A and B are shown apart, each in its own frame.
Chain A
């Protein structure tokens, strides 16, 4: 969907203890939440501008925010997701980050 920093793939051969050491590598997601104020055209434009989505993808993701109340717009490491959330807040969109569901 979006060009993002590569997330290290989990090596199936490593044991549980070692995986816990790499908890920081568990993917995080950026979620944009619906609000009654921001314009649909503007939200889609922000998705294109910031995430480099093509127009149909941005439109689909914007509609998902609008109809389902939220949409995942990026996935990656925590620091990258914090930067995306901050960028969304700069644009006036309501965004949060959380751990990706396993």
Chain B
């Protein structure tokens, strides 16, 4: 893909099937991880990536932090899971296609993509610490950074043009 452009009602990018398949697979894994994390608070202790996706809201007050987790953690995990699911769903057609597919996103969709891409980078950063395919993950990590940065750029551009 070459990056996003501003179009009527949002932004658009052309994705190759292979690119869409990789992103869709990552998005599905993220959605699944967040689904597990929503149901299992102990996963934050077992998996540093989950701890980073769903950090404590209080730093030096364990009681308040625990209360926060009890009240807010599940819903937060579910909302983040929904961003990842939407990212995956938006990619489904392009992933199943045999040729380049243009994907159009409205602003809310683009923001969900940015959030999901950011969360994927948080997970990859943790996995790279211990993983055995560091080079592959590092390429993905950089590619996702480029894509998120490009979304920031194009949303600013869309806002300028809309203003």
Residues of A that sit less than 8 Å from B by CB:
35-39, 41-42, 45, 49, 82, 85-86, 89-92, 94-98
Contacts and interface: CB of A to CB of B under 8 A. Distances in A.
Contact of A37 (B111, B125, B155): B125
Nearest to A37: B125
Interface string B97-139: 0000000000000010011001101100100000000000000
B55 A82 contact: no
B148 A39 contact: yes
A92 B125 contact: no
Given A82-B68, A90-B80, A41 B56 contact: no
A45 B152 contact: yes
A39 B145 contact: yes
B118 A89 contact: no
A87 B125 CA distance: 22
A53 to B, nearest CB: 14
Given A98-B58, A98-B59, A98-B61, 16 more contacts: A35-B122, A37-B121, A39-B149, A41-B152, A42-B114, A42-B118, A42-B152, A45-B152, A82-B72, A86-B57, A89-B57, A90-B80, A90-B83, A92-B119, A94-B52, A97-B58
B115 A91 contact: yes
Interface size class of B (residues with CB under 8 A): 20 to 34
Interface of B: 52-61, 68, 72, 76, 79-80, 83, 111, 114-115, 118-119, 121-122, 125, 145, 148-149, 152-153, 155-156
A91 B118 contact: yes
A89 B54 contact: yes
A96 B149 contact: no
Nearest to B72: A86
A93 to B, nearest CB: 8
Given A36-B125, A42-B149, A45-B156, A85 B114 contact: no
Nearest to B55: A94
A91 B83 CA distance: 10
Contacts of B60: 98
B148 A96 contact: no
Contacts of B55: 89, 94-96
A96 B118 contact: no
B34 to A, nearest CB: 12
Contacts of B56: 96
A97 B56 CA distance: 10
